[in-house]
């Protein structure tokens, strides 16, 4: 009798277990609906590929929304792809660029709930995209070195959900899919001896950047008292040096702003303030990467308490009691952000690893040829709350830059690519690639790569780099960081393509908080540079003049005309006549005069529309020409 009871109970447990599990199938699975994950899911779906985004919270956007980091850093003059779409949507909500230029840290500042609503409105319009909220990642489905999807817990009903996918994207905040699959990653700082970055890191360590609970305060009006209860362990000395109004400990770095300017740093529309600064503010040091979920929750609670103490300091010691935690932002019981702002994650060991040398002197290397996203923010690390961290890292000045495709693809594993802060960069470079616009554009590239791999039925590492780049260009994304030849330039795509070959190269300038690279589209083409940079693609025919003429450029085309079928049987005279006809009409150029110097924009169009070096010479993930 006892055996029968045990058997019946076992059957009931089995049946219950079966009913408590769910299996789904998709082409692309994006684990994490943060900034990078949402952009990846959108781009994949826009290319007609069945895509699922599985997000742990009820919001989309991650640091752009759920973490409250709503003062975007960088890329103001590099409005690329989905980043540009997002910014234009903000302009529409608030009434134009000036309406979101509310604080002094950024040209684009907004309320978190607005970011979430914009992204949700976009995903609902995509017929190939499904978003699953409250899905907590549990484990990676791994067969040998191939990722086949992931398992989740639906937090609404505690149901286990298995999602099989042909291509999985790790868009988690901390690279948890990679870690669970035991895919090799880097954590913390690498020594200069390893990276050759000369950044002042003498030994490798596991130190990551400080995290922050970026609360949103709201101005409830003069006379209002929104002071929160005094937090445990509160002492104003903790925030000594946050502003000039409270600076007693002279051993700390001297503040440069008063209390009001400290708040205006992250001033948002509608009388709100993002609290994500200064160094002696609400940053908090903890390395969450190797902690389990329970340990993380405990550590994150301590980080949140740090922010509560800073808010109390602002309200009491600094006298801003009318600023209280916003009651119309986050759908949380405590009205605090849904997640913390994670500045650093695991960084996958990718097919390429972007380091500061590539950024500082891009044309000394070839990785720039493989660019799929752009950024212009300086190297910016937060380490004030960890005394064990180097406090004066020796960062080199950098121009604006691009991110190589190989940084999205893990070595020796298939079925998985990465975005968010999980990409293959050095710890130092993470200090700039982590910012919102750059993450949005790397996310868009990841989605394009995943979709193309699905469509072509090949591994992501086998997808032609030029096809990924062209797909992005056709979706108004920027692959070369040229601020004077952006998406509104009439020759944008040709300049981008020829720029990515290296035949015509830009000039990078380190300018601080908005670094630059200039293409100079209206300048003449220097003969010596053109001959040198064209050599890998063919023979340049030039005169002894300082600058290349239109006649010289056409002679070069004629010399290499076998590369372009439509021109392969044309005589030089016929070629001149044909190009002259195309110059003003199809190509929308002006002043066809064989004897004048050709401009860089004109040369880009001419090369792109004739011998097309962007496509006829294949490159590998290191940017080397292989065919």
For the stretch 368-408, pLDDT in tens is 999 999 999 999 999 999 999 987 776 789 999 999 999 99
Query: Of 268, 292, 325, which closes a domain?
Result: 325
Cis peptide before 361 (omega within 30 of 0): no
- 561: pLDDT strictly greater than 90: no
- 15: pLDDT strictly greater than 50: no
594 and 511: one domain?
A: yes
536 and 408: one domain?
A: no
What pLDDT sits at residue 627?
75
Average pLDDT over residues 102-108: 97
Q: What is the CATH number of the domain that holds 179?
A: 3.50.50.60
For the stretch 319-370, pLDDT in tens is 999 999 999 999 999 999 999 999 999 999 999 999 999 999 999 999 999 9
Neighbours of 388 (CB within 10 A): 9
Read off the tokens for 258: 């008063």
pTM as predicted: 0.95
Read off the tokens for 288: 């969450």
Average pLDDT over residues 226-230: 98
CA-closest candidate to residue 487, choices 204, 85, 147, 168:
85
Residue 287 structural domain: 211-325
420 and 496: one domain?
A: no
Average pLDDT value over all residues in the chain: 94
Flag whether 10 is in a domain. no
- 16: pLDDT strictly greater than 50: no
Average pLDDT over residues 143-151: 97
269 and 314: one domain?
A: yes
- 169: pLDDT strictly greater than 60: yes
What pLDDT sits at residue 70?
98
Average pLDDT over residues 602-620: 94
Flag whether 607 is in a domain. yes
Answer with the residue of higher pLDDT: 12 or 402: 402
- 11: pLDDT strictly greater than 50: no
143 and 183: one domain?
A: yes
3-state secondary structure 143-189: ECCEEEEEEEEECCCCEEEEEEEEEEEECCCCCHHHHHCCCCEECCC
466 and 513: one domain?
A: no
For the stretch 411-467, pLDDT in tens is 999 999 999 999 999 999 999 999 999 999 999 999 999 999 999 999 999 999 999
- 2: pLDDT strictly greater than 60: no
For the stretch 110-146, pLDDT in tens is 999 999 999 999 999 999 999 999 999 999 999 999 9
What pLDDT sits at residue 9?
46
Q: Which pLDDT band holds residue 566 (cuts at 50, 70, 90)?
A: low
Read off the tokens for 72: 């975007």
- 7: pLDDT strictly greater than 80: no
CA-closest candidate to residue 324, choices 219, 236, 229:
219
Q: Which pLDDT band holds residue 19 (cuts at 50, 70, 90)?
A: very low
Query: Of 438, 473, 508, which closes a domain?
Result: 473
Flag whether 104 is in a domain. no
Flag whether 483 is in a domain. no
User: Which residues lie below 8 Å from residue 420, measured CB to CB, with a gap of 6+?
Assistant: 32, 34, 35, 36, 37, 62, 170, 171, 172, 173, 175, 345, 439, 442, 443
Span of 17-26, 457-466, 516-525 with lowest mean pLDDT: 17-26
196 and 62: one domain?
A: yes
- 18: pLDDT strictly greater than 60: no
3-state secondary structure 537-548: CCCCCCCCCCEC
- 10: pLDDT strictly greater than 60: no
219 and 195: one domain?
A: no
Flag whether 94 is in a domain. no
Phi/psi for 272 (5° steps) reads: -120, 160
Flag whether 100 is in a domain. no
Structural domains counted in the chain: 3
- 486: pLDDT strictly greater than 70: yes
Flag whether 500 is in a domain. yes
Are 185 and 290 a contacting pair, CB within 8 Å?
Answer: no
What pLDDT sits at residue 573?
81
160 and 32: one domain?
A: yes
514 and 557: one domain?
A: yes
152 and 31: one domain?
A: yes
**Alpha carbons within 13 A on the beta-carbon side of 106:** 24
For the stretch 284-301, pLDDT in tens is 999 999 999 999 999 999
What pLDDT sits at residue 14?
42
Lookup result for tokens 């950098």? 398
What pLDDT sits at residue 40?
98
190 and 219: one domain?
A: no
Flag whether 9 is in a domain. no
What pLDDT sits at residue 396?
82
Phi/psi for 322 (5° steps) reads: -80, -5
Are 162 and 141 a contacting pair, CB within 8 Å?
Answer: yes
Query: Of 325, 357, 384, which closes a domain?
Result: 325
How far is CA 225 from its chain centroid?
40
What pLDDT sits at residue 567?
64
Q: Which pLDDT band holds residue 542 (cuts at 50, 70, 90)?
A: confident
Q: Which helix (H) or strand (E) holds 369?
A: none
Nearest-angstrom CA–CA distance, 373 and 36: 12
- 506: pLDDT strictly greater than 60: yes
- 23: pLDDT strictly greater than 80: yes
């Amino acid at each position: 009798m006892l055996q029968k009871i045990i058997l019946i109970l076992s059957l009931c447990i089995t049946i219950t277990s079966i009913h408590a599990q769910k299996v789904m199938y998709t082409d692309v699975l994006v684990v994490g609906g943060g900034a990078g994950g949402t952009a990846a899911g959108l781009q994949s779906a826009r290319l007609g590929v069945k895509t699922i985004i599985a997000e742990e919270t009820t919001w989309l956007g991650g640091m752009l929304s759920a973490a409250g980091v709503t003062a975007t850093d960088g890329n103001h003059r590099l409005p690329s792809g989905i980043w540009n779409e997002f910014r234009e949507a903000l302009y529409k909500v608030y009434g134009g660029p000036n309406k979101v230029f509310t604080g002094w840290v950024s040209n684009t500042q907004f309320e978190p709930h607005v970011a979430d609503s914009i992204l949700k409105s976009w995903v609902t319009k995509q017929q190939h995209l499904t978003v699953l909220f409250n899905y907590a990642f549990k484990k990676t489905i791994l067969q040998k070195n191939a990722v086949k999807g992931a398992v989740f817990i639906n937090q609404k009903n505690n149901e286990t959900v298995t999602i099989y996918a042909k291509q999985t994207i790790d868009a988690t905040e901390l690279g948890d899919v990679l870690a669970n699959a035991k895919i090799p990653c880097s954590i913390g700082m690498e020594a200069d001896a390893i990276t050759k970055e000369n950044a002042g890191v003498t030994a490798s360590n596991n130190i990551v950047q400080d995290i922050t609970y970026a609360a949103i305060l709201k101005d409830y009006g003069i006379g209002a008292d929104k002071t929160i209860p005094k937090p445990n362990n509160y002492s104003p000395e903790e925030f000594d040096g946050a502003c000039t109004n409270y600076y007693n400990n002279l051993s700390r770095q001297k503040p440069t702003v008063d209390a009001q300017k400290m708040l205006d740093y992250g001033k948002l529309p509608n009388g709100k303030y993002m609290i994500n600064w200064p160094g002696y503010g609400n940053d908090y040091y903890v390395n969450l990467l190797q902690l389990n979920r329970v340990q993380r929750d405990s550590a994150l609670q301590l980080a949140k308490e740090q922010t509560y103490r800073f808010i109390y300091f602002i309200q009491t010691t600094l006298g801003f009691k009318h600023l209280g935690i916003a009651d119309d932002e986050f759908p949380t019981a405590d009205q605090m952000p849904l997640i913390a702002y994670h500045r650093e994650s695991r960084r996958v060991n990718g097919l390429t690893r972007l380091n500061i040398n590539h950024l500082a002197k891009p044309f000394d290397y070839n990785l720039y040829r493989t660019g799929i996203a752009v950024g212009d923010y300086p190297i910016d690390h937060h380490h004030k709350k960890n005394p064990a961290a180097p406090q004066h890292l020796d960062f080199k000045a950098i121009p604006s830059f691009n991110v190589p495709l190989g940084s999205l693809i893990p070595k020796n594993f298939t079925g998985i690519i990465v975005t968010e802060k999980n990409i293959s960069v050095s710890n130092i470079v993470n200090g700039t690639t982590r910012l919102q616009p750059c993450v949005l554009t790397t996310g868009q590239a990841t989605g394009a790569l995943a979709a193309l791999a699905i469509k072509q039925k090949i591994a992501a590492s086998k997808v032609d780099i030029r096809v990924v780049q062209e797909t992005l260009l056709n979706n108004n994304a920027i692959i070369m960081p040229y601020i004077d030849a952006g998406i509104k330039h009439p020759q944008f795509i040709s300049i981008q393509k020829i720029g990515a070959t290296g035949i015509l190269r830009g000039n990078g300038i380190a300018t601080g908080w908005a670094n630059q690279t200039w293409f100079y589209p209206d300048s003449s083409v220097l003969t010596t540079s053109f001959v040198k940079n064209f050599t890998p693609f063919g023979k340049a025919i030039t005169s002894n003049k300082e600058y290349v003429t239109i006649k010289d450029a056409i002679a070069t085309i004629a010399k290499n005309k076998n590369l372009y079928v439509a021109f392969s049987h044309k005589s030089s005279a016929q070629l001149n006549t044909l190009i002259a006809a195309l110059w003003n009409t199809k190509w929308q150029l002006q002043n066809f005069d064989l004897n004048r110097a050709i401009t860089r924009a004109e040369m880009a169009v001419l090369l792109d529309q004739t011998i097309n070096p962007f496509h006829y010479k294949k490159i590998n993930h290191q940017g080397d020409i292989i065919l």
